[in-house]
Structure 1
Amino acid sequence: MHLVDSHCHLDNPRYVEDLDAVLARSYAAGVRTILTIGIGEGPAYMGNGLALARSATASTPAVYASAGIYPGNAHEATEADYARLEQLIQDPNCIAVGEIGLDYYHAESPAPEIQAACFVRQMRIAVAARKPILIHCRPNDGTPNFPGLDVWNNLFALIEEHWTPHDITGVMHCFSGTQAHADRSLANNFVLSFAGHTTFPKSKDLMAVAVSTPLDRILVETDAPYLAPIPHRGQRNEPAYTAYTASAIAAARGLTPQDFAQATTANFRRIFGVS
């Protein structure tokens, strides 16, 4: 079985002590390819993911990277950072720009107009390089942050103006929206990537979206070290746990884990142009 963890954060400090063991466990669990995200703790660290890229071995997965400026760090971005991003994504192991987008959840997130400007700038960089983008979209979930603003509507407005006309695909990372959000994402040439929280008991509506997503438009991810799936909820997540999320979605769709793994791997290879 060949699984892909389409989004994780191997540069997170929680892996400093045992990254080699984490990769070995991933391989043993059937994860043959990993996309690690290059956002770090701010724009100065967006090359950290690429520093971890490596070819597959007989006992460890291939690791690819992205690079981008996280919406929570949009206010830190400088012209030099955008120039460096343009440079980083020329590396063949840097296969996407992201994660980028909008975050209205955290009180410390920059003002919406600052986030939007950073997002648009990075979409333009990705368009010029013909690289897919990885979208972060988090609503306020009833918190008092960014009152009265609909993050999904704002996100789609920007995407439909600055991305969709260029006919390049992208990924809705850690998809947590409604069926309507899923439909609009798919209409804009995105695929949906589902993380470990899809397995949680209270995520029945999200699992229903995962079941209804066309088989050629779906990915799985861990977002490790966050969002560990059942049965490891609350623990440090790692790419090996992709297998739990994939198996849960496969079962809900009436597929074998092997067939679902084959489909999601084919999707990843098509989207990012890797073998």
Structure 2
Amino acid sequence: MLVDSHCHLDFPDFQSRLPEVLNAAAAAGVGRMVTISTHVARFETYRALAEAHETVFCTVGTHPHNAAVEPDVPAERLIELSKHARCIAIGEAGLDYHYDKSPRDVQQQVFRTHIAAARETRLPLVIHARNADEDMIRILSEEMRRGRFDAVLHCFSSGETLAQVGVELGLYVSFSGILTFRNSEDIRRIAAAVPRERLLVETDAPYLAPVPHRGKTNEPAFVAHTAHVLAETIGVTDTEIAQITTSNFYRLFSKAASADAAQSQAVAS
């Protein structure tokens, strides 16, 4: 089984064809998906998706693009919403200095609030980082000294130093369809250096469709192509990369493991 650890099933791209998308994912061996929050105000949408589909989990958080829209959501609110049984992580939150859709100081403030919530709940933090390596390294290092938290650097497209520091701090690193692009030699080199026990795969659907679907709307089924390239990159088989990344997913997102175990027990009884 493969896991798409990061997608956006609430986006308009999937509204009219979600059953088709979920069926395609199952046919491709993608057994679990995490639909990621970009607005805390939309949590009921994410919750409803996760409740309606046993293969889907959700998160709660504010994307850095939306930090100026939701600048004052307290950690307590994130903590309360995260108690839902199908909510398995905090985020996505972080820093995006490529588009700068929110002021950088506001992004940093909101990011630190999400770190506090992740620390308190002991749920992993899903981190968005783009063109902000220096500040990301500084904030992660400062906050980790204040108290440990688990996290994943999602859709990794940053520099080697951030990957190294992230691994040193105990973070996981997730790779998207970018890994399959012809001009992504540096990302593949970084992926090859990440310890196997810290690797995840994702789509970030509907964005960043991998080769051979580049330019099309991405969807969870396509994570199999990214997994195949990651397997080639680190020198293992497709079966082995599925085992590695799925095991890593359940270790990091331990609430998902508990939910699946409870579901299996309920079915058995």
Q: Same fold (TM over 0.5)?
A: yes
Residue matched to 1:180: 161
The secondary structure found in structure 2 opposite 1:86 is: helix
Shift of 1:92: 2.2
Structure 2 distance, partners of 1:102, 1:46, is 21
Shift of 1:83: 4.5
Cα 1:172–1:17 shift into 2, 3 Å: same
Contact 2:40 2:60 in 1 (8 A): no
State the Cα deviation string for residues 165-221 of structure 1 (Å, max 9, x = none): 423221000001222221111011111000001100000110111122111000000
Residue matched to 2:31: 32
The secondary structure found in structure 1 opposite 2:85 is: coil
Contact 2:95 2:108 in 1 (8 A): yes
Moved more, 194-203 or 87-96: 87-96
Is 1:198 the counterpart of 2:190 in the alignment? no
Shift of 1:43: 3.6
Shift of 1:266: 0.3
The secondary structure found in structure 2 opposite 1:76 is: coil
Cα 1:133–1:164 shift into 2, 3 Å: farther
Residue matched to 1:251: 232
Contact 2:71 2:110 in 1 (8 A): no
Residue matched to 1:147: none
Moved more, 191-200 or 154-163: 154-163
Q: Report the residue type matching 2:102 in the other structure.
A: P
Residue matched to 1:85: 78
Q: Report the residue type matching 1:66 in the other structure.
A: T
Identical counterparts, % of pairs = 38
The secondary structure found in structure 2 opposite 1:231 is: coil
Contact 1:47 1:88 in 2 (8 A): no
Question: What is the number of residues matched between the two proteins?
Answer: 256
Contact 2:118 2:150 in 1 (8 A): no
Structure 2 distance, partners of 1:51, 1:115, is 27
Structure 1 distance, partners of 2:144, 2:124, is 10
Residue matched to 1:132: 124
Alignment of 1:197-236 (within 5 A): 197-236=178-217
The secondary structure found in structure 2 opposite 1:72 is: helix
Structure 2 distance, partners of 1:80, 1:255, is 43
Structure 2 distance, partners of 1:164, 1:69, is 23
Contact 1:164 1:189 in 2 (8 A): no
State the Cα deviation string for residues 81-111 of structure 1 (Å, max 9, x = none): 655422210112111111100111114x222
Alignment of 1:64-75 (within 5 A): 64-75=57-68
Contact 1:8 1:37 in 2 (8 A): yes
Normalising by the residue count of structure 1, what TM-score does the alignment of the two structures yield?
0.88
Residue matched to 1:96: 89
CA-based RMSD of the aligned residues comes to 1.7
Q: Report the residue type matching 1:75 in the other structure.
A: A
- Of residues 41, 50, 53, the one that matches 1:53 is 50
The secondary structure found in structure 2 opposite 1:46 is: helix
Is 1:156 the counterpart of 2:153 in the alignment? no
Structure 2 distance, partners of 1:32, 1:56, is 11
Contact 1:43 1:73 in 2 (8 A): no
Structure 2: stretches of 5+ with no match in the other structure: 258-269
Structure 2 distance, partners of 1:157, 1:12, is 32
Structure 1 distance, partners of 2:95, 2:166, is 15
The secondary structure found in structure 2 opposite 1:52 is: helix
Is 1:111 the counterpart of 2:108 in the alignment? no
Residue matched to 2:10: 11
Q: Report the residue type matching 2:5 in the other structure.
A: S
Structure 1 distance, partners of 2:75, 2:89, is 15
Contact 1:38 1:66 in 2 (8 A): yes
Shift of 1:159: 1.4
State the Cα deviation string for residues 48-74 of structure 1 (Å, max 9, x = none): 2222114876xxxx1111110111111
The secondary structure found in structure 1 opposite 2:67 is: helix
Q: Report the residue type matching 1:200 in the other structure.
A: F
Name whichever structure is richer in helix by fraction.
2
Residue matched to 2:149: 168
Q: Report the residue type matching 1:44 in the other structure.
A: A
